[in-house]
């Protein structure tokens, strides 16, 4: 079990609930076809999972997460969308409750950055993927974040986040490590690409800024930062206000790089 640095507060869930396969798994979509079986690790609220399920239907789709609350919310979303080929369950990525070679595709979005042993997780994911199947992993690289106008508050926010993530035994700059982790896990035919998030419209920057202003005040970001002695409630208020101020700037711009890998699973001898 690992510590999820973002937590599952309403402000975090509201942000994650906006994710779609078209925006967050575009590198994987061309690999999918009806009838495939697909496992989504760290599914959260299931918004990406349910989109992927439509692409592989009538093939079976399974979403797993370590949070029972997230799994319950994802199951509710599946019922609301009348998704009949999806199952959600709690599971530990280091001990997946499936037989070897159970799935055509194994997918994980923004998961490895939170794990103390991402290579071990990839090996476990590899075991449940068929030898000719597809491993698909995407992770952010926090050190690549850039914004304008300059803001000492946002710079401090990023410093705190990176320190907190590492104190939680994660790697916030996971994107730059994905290729290395995949090779260490024995994955084959590793293809590496990169894509970005960019917030530059008035609506986009306002949403992103307000989202993080709320998360700084009322999510695991703030409570864990105080618990670890990385910040204080007063400083967190200042950082939240900095996000709100940045979001109101007419020239506001924010970008973030992600790395994606598509690969074949490790051969059985690597187990």
Q: Residues 153-188: pLDDT tens digits?
A: 999 999 999 999 999 999 999 999 999 999 999 999
CA distance 189 to 263: 5
CA distance 109 to 214: 23
Coil/strand/helix, residue 18: coil
pLDDT at 109 over 80: yes
Instruction: State mean pLDDT over 237-257.
Output: 97
Instruction: State mean pLDDT over 222-245.
Output: 97
> DSSP H helical segments within the chain, as ranges?
10-16, 21-24, 47-56, 68-80, 118-127, 152-167, 178-184, 202-217, 220-227, 233-247
pLDDT at 7 over 90: no
Backbone φ and ψ for 84, nearest 5 degrees, come out as: -95, -10
């Amino acid at each position: 079990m690992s510590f999820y640095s973002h937590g599952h507060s309403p402000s975090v869930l509201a942000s994650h609930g906006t994710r779609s396969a078209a925006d967050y798994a575009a590198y994987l979509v061309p690999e999918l076809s009806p009838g495939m079986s697909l496992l989504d690790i760290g599914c959260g609220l299931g918004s990406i999972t349910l989109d992927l399920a439509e692409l592989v239907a009538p093939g079976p789709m399974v979403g797993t997460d370590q949070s029972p609350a997230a799994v319950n919310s994802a199951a509710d979303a599946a019922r609301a969308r009348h998704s009949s080929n999806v199952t959600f369950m709690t599971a530990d990525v280091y001990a997946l409750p499936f037989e070897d070679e159970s799935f055509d595709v194994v997918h994980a979005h923004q998961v490895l950055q939170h794990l103390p042993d991402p290579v071990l997780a990839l090996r476990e994911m590899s075991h449940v993927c068929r030898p000719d199947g597809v491993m698909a992993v995407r992770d952010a690289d926090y050190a690549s974040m850039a914004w304008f106008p300059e803001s000492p508050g946002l710079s401090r926010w990023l410093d705190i986040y990176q320190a907190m993530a590492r104190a939680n035994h994660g790697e916030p700059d996971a994107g730059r490590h994905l290729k290395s982790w995949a090779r260490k896990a024995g994955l084959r035919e590793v293809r590496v690409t990169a894509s970005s998030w960019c917030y530059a419209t008035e609506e986009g920057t306002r949403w992103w800024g307000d989202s993080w202003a709320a998360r700084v005040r009322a999510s695991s970001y703030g409570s864990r930062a105080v618990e670890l002695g990385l910040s204080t409630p007063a400083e967190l208020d200042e950082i939240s206000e900095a996000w709100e101020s940045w979001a109101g700037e007419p020239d506001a711009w924010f970008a973030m790089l992600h790395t994606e890998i598509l690969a074949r699973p490790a051969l059985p001898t690597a187990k």
